[in-house]
Amino acid sequence: MQDLDLLLTSIPKMNPYDRSLVERAYHKARLKHDGIKRLSGEPYFTHCVAVAKILADMKLDAEAIAAALMHDLIEDTDVTRSEIAVEFNETIASLVESVTKLEKLPIPIADNPSDKRKRDVDRENEYLRKMFMAMGDDIRVVLIKLADRLHNMQTLDSMPPEKQISKSRETLELYAPLANRLGIWEIKWRLEDLAFRYLEKDSYKAIARCLDERRAERDQYIEQVIQKVQQALNQHGLSNVNIKGRSKHIYSIYSKMKRKHIPFEEVYDVQALRIIVDTLPQCYLALGIIHNMWRPVPGEFDDYIASPKDNFYQSLHTAVIDDSGRHLEVQIRTWDMHEHAEYGIAAHWRYKEGAGRDDAFDNRVAFIRRLLEFGQEDDNQDSTNFMEALRTEVFEDRVYVFTPQGDIVDLPKGATPIDFAYHIHTEVGNRCRGAKVNGKLVTLSYELKNGDKVKIETNKYGGPKLDWLNSGTGFVKTQRARSKIRYWFRKQNRDKNLAEGRNVVVHELKRLGLSDTYTFESVAALFDFADTQDFFVAVGSGNVDGAHIAARLLDSEKTTNSDEGNSERQANAHRKPDETPLEYTGSIQVEDSSGYPVNIAKCCNPVVGDPIIGYITRGRGVSVHRADCVNILALNEQHRFVTVSWGHVNRLNTVYVPIEIIAFDRDGLLRDISTAIAKERINLTDVKVSLQQDIATFNLMMQLQDLKQLPRVLGLIEGISSVVDARRITM
């Protein structure tokens, strides 16, 4: 019962009712988990107590700690939600239910291992979605889950290696960034180091060894620095000051080494100084004293007090060069800032429970709800898309831009003027037709940067462009904007969506050179649509975009080619000894060729992966065409056709694809096109340009590593100002 006493003494302002809640939750969880063991062999109840203790250390209230003690009861025992609500209260029952994993989901069960893995992933994603949505109503839901994940990571040694890897990756990609966004530094760095320990064992051990080897030297150095700083602060009347050395945690060191491509020896801020004072003015006074003692490093000062981070973190950060020439990082903050930096939103909880109103807490809760808005805007969004959006939008780095009135707008890194427009108002986004950044016109795919001042140009009528949803064009980054665009298209007339969708499908088939290979019915079937009109409507409403169509078509081409190759190999294995075997010519197999030379036809330029057919010419051997080449289809000399296939293709080989670009001529057009292609690491082996009445036509030969690069580079080119069309040439 010693662990119960520790919990009770950890809860601030304990009253008889709070004590009763925790004691009853403790005894109920202990009884229901009796006899259940963890993989390590320890009683399972030790995990429940550990999770509750983490929350107690964060100064959370009795309800949260009681819920933490019982957080696995609904999932692992016969206890029901209603039972908890009756014995305790509705709030605790809701908290326990919100962190309970889902047991039943509408996912087909299959014996195939890959299907089982997908089912497990879908179940986990759906559980996380449920938990995050509940977080908008009660932030304690996610605090309990973070504590649960922290203790699970601390005891991960007993899990199988594959579980160690998957849990660590999920922790690093999801839970540590979540703790960071909530401002809970103490949990963030612990989760990062624990996950890094399993994902990069050698790197983890190497950095840990370097830290241990120099610990004594660093401790001696930092002690001398603390004494010198303390003396200087005292001389200026700052006597009630706490100064501590702060070691950079292992994953942070690794990230800096990787980001800057430097060895451990060049990470100068492994050891830093943290100064905690009583008042805000004392922060700036202490900063002046430090800068007067040692020379500041240019560009290394950040005032997060005047401009807090998006997770409400406040502190002064500076770096100086001391008398011995060493770099020293210094953080300066008040005690209140320090508590909020370590425990984030959890530090506000006790104020919420008090009589007074805590505006900071309300602001943080409103901030969390805004982050999760995108999860409620798109009814058709499944759990996998929700989690992907959470990773890419909520947890990525942010940029801060200004409205024309000077208000700050917080967006994920890579956001565009369209994302900005939808952040301001839905109608501003729907009617967006142009943008000015810092007074200059920019493209709608322009990536906003910190400090940009953005003005949106709108029309009185109209709506968003369907092409904005195409991931290859880079027009939209945020899920918020994407959801609002899809919603707009869903509200439009079905006939209009049908026409728009048909145009998109025609465009993708045309630019990939597959118009004669696929029918509308076959494209719809690739997406499991039996009715082509329903498929067109889905495309027209934005549920299926051009990039998805292009990727699915290329995958289908690859599968078809692979199946044909397997059939030929099987037929070859059953040949009689007197039959003519397949002969290799380069990478192409020609059946019954009798040694004819093989040439790639210039009229349709087939590339690896295209369906092909051979034609025996007069005097030039076998000419290899695309199967849908109009020149071949026009011939009636069937006796000259031979069966050919790509054979065993070395995937490292490049393929050459001719494309045609039509655009309105302007200065710098060829440069912009070349830059877009170069960014994709694609070589141009031939460039021809013709100009007629201000219309420029470019014929380019691109050297691709894989046909899957084609849709993306065509999308990038079509996103260039004044470009009308970009497509693959098959004739």
User: Nearest Cα to 686, choosing from 721, 645, 656, 648?
Assistant: 656
What digits encode the pLDDT tens for the residues 385-423? 555 555 555 555 677 788 888 777 878 888 999 999 998
Note the Cα 652 to chain centre separation in Å: 28
Whether residue 512 is predicted with pLDDT greater than 80 in this model: the reply is no
User: Nearest Cα to 425, choosing from 347, 378, 480?
Assistant: 480
Q: Annotated catalytic residue: which of 76, 173, 300, 591?
A: 76
The enclosing H or E element of 691 equals strand 683-692
Which tokens in the block code for residue 710?
Answer: 């084609």
Give the range with max mean pLDDT: 288-292, 412-416, 630-634.
288-292
Helix-then-strand count for the chain, H and E:
31, 22
Residue 390's Cβ-count burial label (10 Å; 0-12, 13-18, 19+) is: buried
What domains lie within the chain, and their CATH numbers?
A: 2-100+137-199 (1.10.3210.10), 208-345 (3.30.460.10), 397-491 (3.10.20.30), 494-557 (no CATH), 581-645 (no CATH), 655-728 (3.30.70.260)
Whether residue 159 is predicted with pLDDT greater than 50 in this model: the reply is yes
Give the residue-averaged pLDDT of 690-708: 83
Its pTM surpasses 0.95: no
Q: What percentage of the chain carries pLDDT values higher than 70?
A: 79
Q: Residue type for 502, please?
A: R
pLDDT at position 354 is 45
pLDDT at position 461 is 77
User: Nearest Cα to 193, choosing from 246, 146, 142, 154?
Assistant: 154
pLDDT at position 121 is 53
Whether residue 135 is predicted with pLDDT greater than 60 in this model: the reply is no
Distance CA 393, CA 412 (A): 6
What digits encode the pLDDT tens for the residues 361-384? 555 555 555 555 544 444 444 545
To the query of whether residue 115 is one of the catalytic residues in this protein, the response is no
Q: Could you tell me the strand order of the sheet in which 723-728 lies?
A: 683-692, 695-704, 655-664, 723-728
Give the residue-averaged pLDDT of 87-109: 70
What digits encode the pLDDT tens for the residues 185-225? 888 889 999 999 999 999 999 888 888 877 788 788 889 99
What digits encode the pLDDT tens for the residues 435-455? 999 989 999 989 998 888 999
The enclosing H or E element of 517 equals none
To the query of whether residue 223 is one of the catalytic residues in this protein, the response is no
Q: At 284, is the pLDDT very low, low, confident or very high (cuts 50, 70, 90)? A: very high
Helix/strand/coil percentages in the chain, nearest 5:
50, 15, 35
Whether residue 100 is predicted with pLDDT greater than 90 in this model: the reply is no
- The residue ranking higher by pLDDT, 647 or 173, is 173
Q: At 620, is the pLDDT very low, low, confident or very high (cuts 50, 70, 90)? A: confident
pLDDT at position 352 is 46
Q: Annotated catalytic residue: which of 75, 269, 302, 353?
A: 75
Note the Cα 669 to chain centre separation in Å: 32
